[in-house]
Chain A
Amino acid sequence: MKMMNFTDLAKELKNHFNRPIDGPWDNDIFSRLALRVFEYQYSSNPTYANYAEKRGATPSSLRDWKKIPPVPTLAFKEFPIVSGDPSLVEAVFKTSGTSSSELGRGEHHILDLSLYRASLIGSMRHQFYSQESPALLALVKDPAQSQFSSLSFMLGETLDNLSMGKGGFYVNEDNQLQNEKLVNDIRKFESSGYPVLLAGTAFAFVRWMDWLEERGICFELSTNSRIMETGGFKGQSREVSRVELYELLGRLHGVPISSIISEYGMTEMLSQLYERTSVIQETGEIEHLGYEPPPWVRSLVLDVNTLSELPAGEQGVLCHFDLANVGSAMAVLTEDVGVTLGNGTIRLVGRLKEAEQRGCSLAMDDFPEILI
């Protein structure tokens, strides 16, 4: 009975995700679906139901999707969060982050990969494939070699379904970037004038560009090529700021900075947010336009002490409501700090910069505290 509910709900959601994106949905549509997903998760996940009740929320009492009790990312490290039959879990993705204690990595148990596929393809098509079908050159491991990486899965699906198999993965099993291979393949697309989508983490891009600069290599990617940078807003590899990273990405690959798009994703969430960049003409400064969720995701900025919603412009902790997470937890309380901008998008602040931590306890090591 419950699984029927899941299948029906998942099917309905996939239909929505498959439609071309044309701005945010009406509040009524999102609200209706979100409350149904909450009702489903309440009825299919006793752990969550117990928690929701403690926080004063039941399907019969709840009218406002913003009041759906969020599951903290920490819980994904402690036990499987599954809304449905755990024996039907199709895949488990794991976070890569370091963790204190013996808890280890967070895990996202996925009941229905087709739902993930529908969400990511809907977003990727909207962001990168609306005009062309660029080849995807991914600075991550092949999904076949990285079964727990949601990023590899996402780019694998994109390669198969949107780039029609054109492109590949350029990090090998030993986590080494295949620099020469990537240079050769970029050159081929460059000379044929075929657009590419170069995708990778900020960390991989820094290593890649260090390698290029040492050899004096740069490219002129074809018109309509794009770069997708992910995971770069927190911490940094080397001492490269985001502005430096974008300037270098643009210069070494011959693409305008407005063609660089940042992706914000997390293992605990099946949908992603994207941020476009522009250059202010008068000053030449790079302007990040804020992360925009797909229509089936709403993101709130909450007060860190009370978890009440903050008005635009005030800094707080991000909480995402992702309908694609119907098989786990739709409402996810993150550890990320952000601000809602006037246009409804989110500016990520990452973890508030505290230059150094105040302590010598190991418990402090969760925070970056680098070098002298």
Chain B
Amino acid sequence: MNIIVFDACALPEGFQKPDSFNSVNPSQGFTVRYPRLVASDHGTLVSILTDANSEIRRMPVSEIIQAIGNVSNRFMDQNDSLRKEALEIMVPTAGISSEMAEVVLAGMAKNWTAKRLTDLLNREFAKPEILDGFQRLDSGRKQMAYGLDVNFTLGSGTVPGVGVTAMIRGLLMKSSVLLKPGLGDVALPVLFARALGEEHKVFRGCLGVVYWDGMKDRMDSQMLENVGVVVAYGSDETINAIRNRVPVTANFVAYRHRLGVGLVTREALSHESATDTARSVATSISTFDQKGCVSPQVVYVERGGKVTPEEWVELLGTAMEKVEDNLPSGLATTEEAIGTQQLHAATELSQGRGSGALMLKGRSGSWTVVFDPELALKWSNCRRVVYVKPISDLDKTRKILSRSASYLQTVAVEGTENRKEAIASFLSQIGVTRVTSFKQAPWPEPWWHQDGNSVFQGLYKLIDLEDSKPR
């Protein structure tokens, strides 16, 4: 295949697609087209999805899981044309290399299988059939879980796969779903929605995916009036703007941008383990080209191990180059290239002041490691740039991190298990909700309680049917 144009929409049956399109070039030579929707189109979309909701509601949740699982299998099947198409479109839209696209798709799709989705629901509900009708939970009452009629998800600025995950969560709750993916994530949800429609006709009515440019194309506020839940991904500024437009009658679920942090303890810096540690850290940084909220941007390295932080940085540089060989980064955008020039020049200047900073760079400028003795939290807006900061006192680090507490979520820790719990305990005091290894950091479990909450929070309501009590 040699795809150069992608239509970023999978609209529900019954919706008259407009004739005119807007287009955007996420990468040179590749065009994403999307329908030019006017205000009344938005309203029509929501009303079609609302009408179609009764269909998916009649479908047993086990069948929904099966249909989604079947599509997931197609994304994992090396010979399936759907998977090939997805990989080809992910590269120019997400700005990642084809090798990275494969890793991302594999990591994401494995969480969309029937088994994983069944596990997911089992963790949320004592009996997942509660989504199909009333179930007796205890003596005195029955209970049913009822997803909101229409789930409207705005995935601005997401990494590939996030949109599909959000869409699946809505469908499992038997909501109709309207998804506006981020430009970097248009490929998977559109293809997923089309494939799901081929699996079962129900999904041709209750699911809509359409991209538009959040900066240029205005959306009609009225469409928000008729949806049950709005799920928004984005910067604080974006979240705030959307939240202000959601009516009080609708649920609002926000996923804010976050800052990934890493911590390498002295136990991970023995002569035997330091190289392995560097490899895990390098892979964790490089996955998604460091664009994920789980990607470490700064790594604190504890002194006191056999290998010093200064020595370890060299190992990290070697590991970053190896990862670059196997899992190349995508082509830098102009902004990223400028950011890298700024970073390199500013670091070189600071060295002249005796800052003690060391800088290691990839052959083609594709990655940068800055060893910076200054503890203050720093991060870059370029891809594959990590600040490494030596620490002697964990408590001091906690104080520094606490200044950016509202942006913390995932902390990757490399070290012995028995210290990990103590570290997790003190990190929990500053807002961290996930302490994991570097290896697992990019790949949270589907039931990961993001921000400490259930992934289904706000997407459904529980209905109690109380038994009549004898007089």
Contacts and interface: CB of A to CB of B under 8 A. Distances in A.
Interface of A: 46-51, 54-55, 69-75, 78-79, 100-103, 239, 304-305, 307, 315, 317, 333, 335, 337, 351-352, 354-372
Interface in B289-340: 290-293, 295, 297, 332-335, 337-339
B162 interface: yes
Q: Is the interface of B mostly helix, strand, loop or mixed?
A: mixed
Contact of B333 (A75, A100, A335, A354): A354
Contact of B338 (A55, A71, A335): A335
A372 B157 contact: no
Contacts of B353: 47, 79
Nearest to B221: A372
B58 interface: no
Q: Which of A239, A352, A355: most chain B CB closer than 10 A?
A: A355
21 contacts: A54-B348, A54-B351, A69-B345, A72-B346, A73-B342, A75-B345, A75-B349, A239-B216, A304-B337, A351-B334, A352-B334, A356-B184, A356-B214, A360-B258, A360-B293, A361-B295, A362-B259, A364-B235, A369-B235, A372-B232, A372-B245
Interface of B: 24, 26, 94-95, 154, 156-159, 162, 180, 182-185, 213-216, 218-219, 232-238, 241-242, 245, 255, 257-260, 288, 290-293, 295, 297, 332-335, 337-339, 341-343, 345-346, 348-353, 365, 376-381, 403-404, 407
B238 A371 contact: yes
Nearest to A317: B338
Given A75-B350, A359-B292, A365-B235, 16 more contacts: A48-B352, A70-B345, A71-B349, A102-B377, A103-B378, A239-B216, A305-B332, A317-B341, A335-B335, A351-B334, A358-B157, A359-B158, A360-B258, A361-B291, A371-B242, A372-B154
Contact of B219 (A337, A355, A367, A372): A372
Given A355-B213, A367-B381, A305 B156 contact: no
Contacts of B342: 72-74, 333, 335
Given A355-B216, A362-B259, A369 B238 contact: yes
Contacts of B292: 359-361
A127 B290 CA distance: 46
A100 B381 contact: yes
Contacts of B216: 239, 355
Given A75-B346, A372-B241, A358 B94 contact: yes
A307 B288 CA distance: 27
- When A and B form their complex, which 9 residue pairs have the shortest distance between CB atoms, in order from nearest? A359-B291, A358-B184, A50-B352, A304-B337, A47-B352, A74-B342, A74-B346, A72-B345, A72-B342
Nearest to A54: B348
Contacts of B403: 102
Nearest to A73: B342
B435 to A, nearest CB: 18
A54 B346 CA distance: 12
Contacts of A100: 379-381
Given A304-B334, A355-B213, A355-B216, A78 B350 contact: yes
Q: Which of B332, B348, B380: most chain A CB closer than 10 A?
A: B348
A128 B257 CA distance: 45
